[in-house]
């Protein structure tokens, strides 16, 4: 599991995918989220504006990321 540090208290899911390097473009993040390819804390998340905070676990494309 890769640990990703954010510089704010919360970050939106689509922004996190770009910040972590999981995707390059915001449009990619939007598409993958809306098609159900992203999990947050074990559950499929379909809202790209989902607010994430330290301790959340994001799963995408066979990788897991923990926000610290």
Tens digits of residue pLDDT in 10-31:
999 999 999 999 999 999 999 9
H or E element: which one contains 20? Answer: helix 13-20
> Into how many domains does the chain fold?
1
pLDDT at position 50, please?
97
CATH number of 6's domain: 3.10.290.10
Q: Which two tokens stand for residue 57?
A: 């676990």
pLDDT in tens, 37-48: 999 999 999 999
Domain holding 55, by residue range, is 2-67
DSSP-based three-state secondary structure for 27 = helix
């Amino acid at each position: 599991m890769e640990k990703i540090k954010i510089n704010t208290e919360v970050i939106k899911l689509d922004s996190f995918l770009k910040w972590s390097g999981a995707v390059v473009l915001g449009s990619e993040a939007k598409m993958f989220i809306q098609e159900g390819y992203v999990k947050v804390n074990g559950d499929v998340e379909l809202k790209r504006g989902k607010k994430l905070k330290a301790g959340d676990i994001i799963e995408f494309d066979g990788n897991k990321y923990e926000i610290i």
